[in-house]
């Protein structure tokens, strides 16, 4: 009995350690970053969105541009319907992707640790339902998925604990209090940490072939982080080329 309790305590300690580590975006997933030769750098967010979504991308772009290390600018999208990744930038898309379980999906392709492209998809199959058809849910999910394309992970993957006041936190109630609709100071600190060094080359606006994954779990590779509201997958394409997919599940 005593041994069992100890084992349980050790497991709990290990779980705490794991969640602490995964909360430190800059040090786990955060080793993935856009290569650039100077800060702040400007990342293009390609708008492939229907009119009803455009303002949410505008809000996310403004929010993240408060960072001292990066700016984002919304430009005309290049991938219309299929949201295929475009090298050197991020493509943002909405569509009724079906009852596949996910509310939002962010993928980054990386060469070594350098991000070479990003995609954000929001699933209208769920956003058209009463539960998610609200400015709050749309604001949170767009903010979080765009945040992933910089290399940021979640601050916290619990569902029942209180809101942390950042869109990089899972929640059952985006409005809180505190509200999880926008980034918080901790996210900006994480970005400063991820982008503290400079590179001799740039992947921003760089043109090269990039690997891409599809809309189904089967194409995302190995699951490397798991929680009730979202998971992270990595698919290895070989020769240092990977795609990391962050999914936020509906309901």
Alpha-helix residue ranges (DSSP H) falling in 73-174: 124-127, 135-148
Phi, then psi, of 107 in degrees rounded to 5: -125, 140
Stretch that binds Zn ion, among 7-15, 19-27, 115-123, 136-144 (CB under 5 A): 136-144
- Strand-pairing partners, residue 223, are 233
Nearer to Zn ion, 49 or 153 (CB): 153
Closest to Zn ion by CB, 11 or 60:
60
Query: What is the smallest separation between the CB atom of 54 and Zn ion, expressed in angstroms?
Result: 21
Could you say which residues in the range 103-132 bind Zn ion, by CB under 5 A?
Answer: none
Nearer to Zn ion, 8 or 228 (CB): 228
Smallest gap from Cβ 4 to Zn ion, in A, equals: 35
Euclidean distance between CA atoms 46 and 55, whole angstroms? 13
Stretch 216-245 residues interacting with Zn ion (CB under 5 A): 230
For Zn ion, which residue of 65, 101, 125, 199 counts as binding (CB under 5 A)? 199
Question: Which residue's CB is nearer to Zn ion, number 155 or number 179?
Answer: 155
Q: Nearer to Zn ion by C-beta: 56 or 246?
A: 246
29 belongs to the binding site for Zn ion (CB under 5 A): no
Q: Which is nearer to Zn ion, 78 or 125 (CB)?
A: 125
The stretch near Zn ion (CB under 5 A) out of 7-15, 73-81, 133-141, 192-200 is 192-200
What 3-state DSSP class applies to 71?
A: strand
Provide, rounded to whole angstroms, the least separation between the CB of residue 186 and Zn ion.
Answer: 15
Distance separating alpha carbons of residues 124 and 140, to the nearest angstrom: 15
Would residue 151 be called left, alpha or beta, if left means φ above 0 and alpha means ψ between -120 and 50 degrees? Answer: left
Under the binding rule (CB under 5 A), the answer on residue 246 touching Zn ion is yes
Using CB under 5 A, count the residues that bind Zn ion.
5
CA 134 to each of CA 29, 52, 139, 141, 190: distance values in angstroms, whole numbers, following the listed order: 30, 11, 9, 11, 29
d(CA 168, CA 180): 8
Q: Is 249 in the site for Zn ion (CB under 5 A)?
A: no
Q: Which of 39-47, 66-74, 81-89, 139-147 is the region at the interface with Zn ion (rule: CB under 5 A)?
A: 139-147
Q: Which residue is nearest to Zn ion (CB)?
A: 199
Closest approach of Zn ion to the CB of residue 94, in Å: 16
Query: What's the CA gap between 183 and 246, in Å, rounded?
Result: 17
Please name which of 122, 153, 77, 150 lies closest in space to residue 215, comparing C-alpha atoms: 122
Cα–Cα distance, 215 to 176 (Å, whole number): 30
What is the SS3 assignment for 118?
strand
| Residues engaged in binding Zn ion (CB under 5 A) | 144, 199, 230, 246, 248
């Amino acid at each position: 009995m005593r041994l069992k309790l100890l084992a349980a305590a050790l497991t709990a300690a290990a779980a705490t350690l794991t969640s602490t580590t995964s909360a430190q975006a800059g040090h786990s997933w955060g080793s993935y970053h856009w290569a650039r030769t100077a800060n702040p750098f400007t990342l293009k967010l390609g708008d492939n969105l229907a009119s009803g979504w455009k303002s949410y991308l505008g809000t996310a772009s403004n929010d993240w541009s408060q960072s001292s290390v990066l700016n984002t600018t919304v430009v005309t999208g290049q991938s219309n319907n299929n949201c295929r990744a475009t090298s050197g930038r991020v493509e943002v898309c909405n569509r009724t992707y079906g009852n596949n379980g996910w509310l939002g999906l962010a993928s980054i392709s990386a060469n070594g640790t350098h991000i070479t492209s990003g995609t954000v998809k929001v699933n209208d199959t769920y956003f058209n339902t009463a539960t998610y058809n609200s400015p709050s849910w749309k604001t949170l999910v767009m903010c979080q998925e765009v945040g992933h394309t910089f290399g940021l992970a979640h601050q916290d993957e619990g569902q029942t604990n209180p809101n942390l006041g950042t869109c990089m936190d899972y929640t059952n109630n985006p409005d809180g209090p505190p509200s999880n609709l926008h980034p918080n100071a901790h996210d900006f600190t994480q970005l400063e940490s991820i982008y503290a060094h400079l590179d001799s080359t740039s992947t921003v606006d760089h043109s090269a072939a990039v690997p891409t994954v599809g809309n189904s779990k089967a194409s995302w590779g190995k699951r490397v982080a798991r929680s009730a509201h979202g998971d992270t997958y990595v698919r290895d394409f070989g020769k240092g080329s990977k795609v990391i997919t962050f999914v936020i599940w509906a309901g």
